[in-house]
Amino acid sequence: MSISDKILNLLKDAKEASFELANISTKEKNRALLKIAKELLKNTGYILSENAKDLALAEKKGVSGAIMDRLILTEKRVKEMADSAMQVASLKDPAGRILKQWKRPNGLTIKKIVVPIGVIGIIYESRPNVTADCAALCIKSGNACVLRGGSEAINSNLAIHRVIVKALKRSGIPESAVTIVDIADRRAVEILLKQDSLVDLVIPRGGEGLIRYVAQNSLIPVIKHYKGVCHLYVDKDADFKMAMDIMLNAKVQRPGVCNAIEKMLVHKDIAARFLPEAARILDDKGVELRGCSKTLKILKGIKKAQEKDWYEEYLDLILTIKIVKSADEAISHINKYGSRHSDAIVTKNKKTAERFLKEVDSAAVYHNASTRFTDGYQFGMGAEIGISTDKIHARGPMALEELCSYKYIIYGAGQTRK
């Protein structure tokens, strides 16, 4: 069987499953999610052993530390996948909710109700936990999902998928509700992106190259989980200890994820006092610093930032610093160079904070908190299918509500239009 035929068969089965899943009760969906959580915990050893195969291959290829961090699974991370499935099960089912209802003078009653989108294609790299998170969210929202992970995580993804399918079988949910494309050939993605009659939405998660490729080659609507060029602005009225703690958490905790900061802006009035201590703390954690010309006068010996640095997502222990003369300059800089993902301000000045929150054009904007909280689980959504940097339909962490659309239901008594 050709690659094209195999993919078409998978997608046709997913489409059929989507119709069935859209009409399954909330109770049945929740039972399946709890079964998935139980099976994930039960099969932790198996999942980790398959993940070890991917890690060994990645190490042999000499992949970066950031990619290894996204690839690795631990008992804790498998438990987090199970916890996410359980939390999604506890959330309110969006499907079927009445958004609006009204009656027309001609007697027609019109209802606007929430419905699943249908078949969601997720194309992702490195992070095998995405397999479980996306499956859980799609099942609860009544969507079928077609998963295409990267070759670097193939063993992990297949293991998690097998566990999920086992749980679906025992729950009476169609196995094709969670489909995985296990074809390593890159043509698989190219073929999938042309099937607009079978797939309703594509969500790419991964590097900039993958996302650009999907957006440019898809016949299917795309919601981009774009790069995270996230900023921390330390205002002149900042609490220094708070700023240091947030900086350290946002940069160092997991530098290889999209909600870690890549740039730090510091007000000129505090730069001479704040930056030397910040540099010492970051240096102790192995962070490479780059800076604007003004920063270089305070922090001797660091690299000079190039224009491309302000746009770049490092996903590594690298931080670029700029000294700004005002909050207005910080806002303008973020709106020019940021990726509309997550940005934060540290300040005790409420007026400055409110202006920053209002004027920074990003999906998530923080006052006195780390950007690392931009995450579906952290937001109480159970999990996320991606963090959208688009503005239409969905923005920020995409969870149950963002995986739904709506339709109109009209009740009549024989009315005809005149």
**The pLDDT of residue 281:** 97
Q: What share of the chain is helix, strand, coil (3-state, %, to 5)?
A: 45, 20, 35
Domain 3-226+390-411 falls in which CATH fold?
Aldehyde Dehydrogenase; Chain A, domain 1 (3.40.605)
Which residues, at least 6 apart from 90, have a Cβ–Cβ distance to it below 8 Å? Answer: 382
**The pLDDT of residue 341:** 97
Write the CA distances from 287 to 137, 239, 251, 271, 341, integer angstroms.
35, 22, 9, 18, 22
**Local confidence band at 295 (pLDDT 50, 70, 90 cut-offs):** very high
What are the extents of the domains in the chain? 3-226+390-411, 230-373
**The pLDDT of residue 361:** 97
pTM attached to this predicted model: 0.89
Q: What's the average model confidence in pLDDT over 293-309?
A: 96
Domains 3-226+390-411 and 230-373 share a fold: no
Backbone angles phi, psi at 41, to 5 degrees: -65, -40
Which uninterrupted H or E stretch holds 85? helix 75-90
**The pLDDT of residue 8:** 96
**The pLDDT of residue 63:** 85
Q: pLDDT digit string (tens) for 198-226?
A: 999 999 988 888 999 999 999 999 998 88
**The pLDDT of residue 256:** 87
**Do β-strands 396-398 and 386-388 pair in parallel, antiparallel, or remain unpaired?**
antiparallel
Closest CA to 315 of 65, 129, 73, 125: 65
Whether the predicted pLDDT of 40 surpasses 90: yes
The pair of three-digit structure tokens given for residue 246, joined into one six-digit string: 């947030």
Whether the predicted pLDDT of 186 surpasses 90: no
CATH number of 230-373: 3.40.309.10
- Cβ contact 201:121 at 8 Å: yes
**The pLDDT of residue 65:** 80
Which uninterrupted H or E stretch holds 129? helix 129-141
Report the DSSP beta bridge partners of residue 364: 342
Q: pLDDT digit string (tens) for 41-89?
A: 999 999 999 999 999 999 999 888 878 888 999 999 999 999 999 999 9
**The pLDDT of residue 397:** 93
Q: What's the average model confidence in pLDDT over 15-38?
A: 97
